[in-house]
Amino acid sequence: MPEKKEITIRQVRELERELNYRAFTGGKKIAVVDPASLMHYAAQNALLKTLEEPPKDSLLILVSTSVGGLLATLVSRCLRLSFAPLPVQEVASFLETRKGWSRDKAELLAAMSMGSLGRAAAPEMEEMIQRRAAWAERMSSLTPADSAGWMALAEEIAGEREESLKFLDWAEGWYRDILICLVTGSSRGLSNPDLEQSIRRQADRNSRERVLFLLSRIGATAASIRRNVNRRMALEDFLMRAAGLG
């Protein structure tokens, strides 16, 4: 389907209409929705009937990094296939060879992408190297008494929907790294290896239960933003909890 910020009901209806046509060469009709999380909930609902009773000789593939932003009724109608990420060293070697990047840079971007080759090679990932450090510093300084701090951060990242989702995607990796340190005590598998010292300080201040709770709130916040709720309010709620109020 075409790349847009959101997949609409109209696009889903067009897809359903095309799937009902006879295949040009007489074979299968295959449609790929990537990423499926871009479907508004109303668009997901519109697709349920087709998933339940697909047209003859048709195959519909929904691609998503997580089912968090997908309706349970939609997921239940699909055959779920999970693919493991590529080894970080394999991604780093590809970037070093094909992109001509230094080994250090390739390894950092491979870790940041958590084994996703396409994500590691995306143009915005280089920009994210600096932005992560700034976000980590801001997140590390949040306190219950500093309401101005987390409200200001929410305002900064709430301007654009994609910016908000990028921040939450990074925050998910950040808290995942904290959880790795809490559970294993090791730095192996961190998606922000260059921020290890900051991650370990946060691990010392948090419990496993709290980090798991915040990870669940990140998923819920991202789902709310995809439903077009007020981004600033959704982010303020998450950051307030991250600061220790809730």
Percent above pLDDT 70 for the chain: 97
In this prediction, residue 233 has a pLDDT band, given cuts at 50, 70 and 90, of: very high
Q: pLDDT at residue 3 above 60?
A: no
Structure pTM? 0.72
Mean pLDDT confidence for 120-149: 87
Half-sphere exposure of 75 (CA within 13 A, CB side): 12
Question: Which amino acid, 198?
Answer: S
Q: Name beta bridge partners: 62.
A: 33
Question: Rounded distance, CA 233 to CA 221, Å?
Answer: 10
**pLDDT of 2:** 44
Task: Kindly report, residue by residue over 105-119, the tens digit of the pLDDT.
Answer: 999 999 998 888 888
Mean pLDDT confidence for 150-155: 91
Torsion of CA 146, 147, 149, 154, to 10 degrees: 150
Mean pLDDT confidence for 10-26: 87
In this prediction, residue 84 has a pLDDT band, given cuts at 50, 70 and 90, of: confident
Mean pLDDT confidence for 170-185: 94
